Amino acid sequence: MIPAPATLLPLELGGFGAIRGSVALSDPLTLRLEPGTVLGIVGPNGVGKSSLLGAIAQSGVSSYGSARFGSEELTRAKAKRRSELVSLMAQDHGAPGELRVRELVGVGAWASRRSDHAAAVDAALARAGISHLADRRYSVLSGGQRQLVQLARVLAQNTPIVVLDEPTSALDLAHQRAVEQIMRGLGNQGRIVIAAIHDLSIALNTCTRVLLLDPGGSSHTGTPHEVLGPERVFAAYGVRTTIHTTPQGRRILAADD
């Protein structure tokens, strides 16, 4: 069991956005994310979803505006302090291939200076469903397995803000559902989860809020049902869609033929 972090505070973005080549990638965002929020960031390719995540995590992406967690300004926090507050799973799953899985996941526990290092690694491996891979070298893993290892690294870091870039992109159906459950579980612990998601059905079923970035730079925020309605999806993607609900209550967003 991965314990909830002690610090559970809102994250407030004030006039915030990512910058690439001195150009703002979207209109300024002003959002307040309460503890327990699972925010899905969606939108067509190239609108800046990954850049926005990198800006929030302050990981190699320039930003403007304010990103305040409680009384702390993330854009001015020192790297060590920021690693205690924000963890990032990027799309690039590269890492030294000679590292064993346990060692790589341990990087997350080390980054936030956890005192229960070994227990944190074991718990993260178990939560991601990859305990059986612990002693394998990273270089021999499949793309999906590497994605789960990077997720476990983030879980071991145990931060109140968890940033995930396409966390299910390389996974089979069973592992996609497992990651959905992990994201909801993190939210239930009071963490703030921010994830870029291409599969709009996953956003419908997993997220408590959705941020849709339009190609023109504007954005829309609200509940998944509000933001992912057919007209708004068509305006952003140019595709007509319908939301279907299964007898078990799962919602599926499908393109109309």
Inside any domain, residue 1: no
Sign of the Cα torsion 169, 174, 180, 185 reads negative
Inside any domain, residue 6: no
Inside any domain, residue 117: yes
Inside any domain, residue 34: yes
Listed residue (13, 14, 24, 20) closest to 163, CA to CA: 13
The domain in which residue 216 lies consists of 11-255
pLDDT per residue as tens digits for the range 197-232:
999 999 999 999 999 999 988 999 999 999 999 999
- For residues 205 and 200, what is the distance between their CA atoms, to the nearest angstrom? 9
> Mean pLDDT for the chain?
93
pLDDT per residue as tens digits for the range 70-97:
999 999 999 999 999 999 999 876 777 6
Inside any domain, residue 3: no
Q: What is the DSSP letter of 176?
A: H
pLDDT per residue as tens digits for the range 108-145:
998 877 778 899 999 999 999 999 999 999 999 999 99
The CATH code of the domain that includes 168 is 3.40.50.300
Residues 6+ apart with CB under 8 A from 10: 32, 33, 34, 35, 69, 70, 192
Residue 161 has pLDDT above 90, yes or no: yes
The residues with which 244 forms a beta bridge, in sequence order, are 252
Inside any domain, residue 118: yes
Q: Quick one: what percent of the chain has pLDDT higher than 70?
A: 96
Inside any domain, residue 116: yes
Average pLDDT on 21-49 reads: 94
Which tokens go with 52?
């926005």
Sign of the Cα torsion 222, 228, 232, 233 reads positive
Query: pLDDT grade, residue 6 (50/70/90)?
Result: low
pTM over 0.85, yes/no: yes
Which tokens go with 241?
């869609």
Domain count, the chain: 1
Inside any domain, residue 4: no
